[in-house]
């Protein structure tokens, strides 16, 4: 026999799960101290420059 499911509860549980995921991402993004944010930005900038320095051609898009 199939289990009876209250669709309203399932919908609300899914919405809570999505909201919690977004809240966790916001805590990581906005809850970090300024020093940690600056360090993360410096690291990403450094990685981007290193990747750009190793690029073989100057064209930004794919060749046609």
7 in any annotated domain: no
The number of folded domains in the chain is: 1
For the chain, how many residues are written?
Answer: 64
* Contacts of residue 40, Cβ cutoff 8 Å, sequence gap at least 6: 32
What percent of the chain is predicted at pLDDT more than 70?
89
CA distance 32 to 43: 15
**Range of the structural domain that residue 48 is part of:** 22-54
pLDDT at 46 over 80: yes
CA distance 48 to 40: 12
Residue 61: predicted pLDDT: 66
pLDDT at 60 over 70: no
Tokens of 32: 């970090």
Instruction: Summarize the confidence of residues 26-34 as an average pLDDT.
Output: 88
């Amino acid at each position: 026999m199939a289990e009876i499911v209250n669709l309203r509860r399932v919908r609300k549980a899914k919405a809570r799960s999505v909201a919690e995921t977004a809240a966790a991402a916001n805590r990581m993004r906005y809850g970090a101290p300024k020093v940690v944010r600056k360090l993360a930005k410096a690291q990403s900038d450094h990685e981007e420059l290193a990747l750009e320095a190793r690029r073989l051609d100057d064209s930004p898009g794919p060749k046609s």
